[in-house]
A and B are shown apart, each in its own frame.
Chain A
Amino acid sequence: MEKILKKSDLGKWVGKLSAFDCYAPTKENDHWEFNQVTYLDSLPEDYTQVNVPLKKVVLPNREVLFNFEDNRNGGPHIQEVLPEEKEVVVFGVRGCDARGVALLSKIFSESSPDIYFERRKNQLYVVGLSCYPLPGDNCFCLSVGGGPFSTQGMDILLSDIGRKYFVEVLTPKGEKLVELGWEFFAEPNDQDRQDRLRREKKAQEMFNLEIHEAEKKAGVLHHLFEDKIWKTESFRCLKCGICTYLCPTCHCFDIADELASPVPLQGKRVRVWDTCQFPDFTMHSSGHNPRPDKSSRLRQRIMHKFLYFVETYGEIMCTGCGRCVSKCPVGIDIVNILNRVESHEG
């Protein structure tokens, strides 16, 4: 379903969504983050991309799984804790972040349903914003199956066509949101459709970063487990968590017990973000560590995205948001690495 929404009506529509928790990009210091808002009159003109991707809504950096307590006489007692029942609408989601959540669903919904993820995902309404112009210099979604007007993982896609948004309503959830403010939505005409298409075409020509034949990388990487590129490129790696924590698809976690009291035993079991870049991530209790150094960890990150995930789910686990390239403090560049390994073939 296609609609038109005047920009000046955005706030009125959002005003009708009071039953939901609404999130939108807001500026903190010098970067954007999704924060809860009580009103939303407009999507900021200078908005580029949020720092911490949409995944934080479905896979928060701390999820309480259950409470536990040792009731001396009554024995141990476990109380399940589920995410709060609250429907959430996130505005201004870029295609890469929405695709990120769609890819995470393959792991947390399709293959082995995770009750916490599923509840958060089911409660999430994604209102995307297409990318024209591109939000960053390091965007490369087009080479990994996405695009500046990608709709995957979205319920609604808004495209800025001047004084109004071209609205693509993509799912029943999207329809529900539109129905709540139906009076603000009009039918698009041919000119609107052309405006939207023209912008999409232009946006596609704006990329200055590309992974050549990304879909073939799995075949190449397969032979590069022992390659020296990992050592050369990881020399400067800090072993910090920036590339993975800010990645829309990285989802590794640790489970920890947080004790409120050791005697009588009482506490929470939590799931927290973890990353393959940390030295203790693959540490076995025997003391053996199969990814003992930064070169094997850099390899792990890239192999997971462009080989292992492809083998398991048939898709590349990278949505081309460019954050790991932009935010790496020492300029480790996944696009450059993958383009260089082309020549290693054979």
Chain B
Amino acid sequence: MNMPMYVSPEQLMKDRADYARKGITRGRTAIVSVFSDGVLLCAENPSNTLRKIGEIYDRIGFIGVGKYNEFDQLRVAGVRHADLKGYSFSREDVDARWLANQYAQTLGQYFTHEMKPLEVEIAIAEIGEEPESDQIFHLLYDGTVMDTETFVVIGGETETVRARLEESWKPNQPLETVLNQAVNALAGPDRTLKADDLEVAVLGRGNGRRAFRRIENETLDEHLSEN
């Protein structure tokens, strides 16, 4: 009689976590940070077409790192879910906390039940009426959710970039300052990142119903040169 090989649950989970983490750290880093008038989403991304940042709903934005097809599937699922909820109930009933819980469930499901965990780390940000109500949710490959009202660094060399950003970051700074701090933290002391190497978007409080705007090309260059 064949006996199935015994693997302890601790070992199984550890192997899965190691596998997912390895995939995520191979990629580049991304930052989500609040500024005086909204939330900044900023990623190092040399591609102009394969995007890491996306609009989910009126006041909610998405950023993902890791395996492109996996976080893009999550982004699209989020758009679908938010649009369905807004259609069934009302636009104001769609919020980031609820969406983060849904993402956590899905990520957790993949981590424990599927063949392999998703090799992604994502963050979703929501702006409120006042700066105090801006929120960022950080989700890990296993479904762990963390929330913050300051900034989040995900993917790649998370610890190093976080340490660099922590040195300069302060609450309530204007967009240019936070953007330049984020880009410098992503670049490190030995590199400079140009507009072409970056993907940047904001959720701005003054942007009307749909708060999401990309900052691209010349506009991004202007913002960066004001450093």
Judge: A and B partners, yes or no: no
Tell me the B residues contacting A by CB distance below 8 Å.
Answer: none
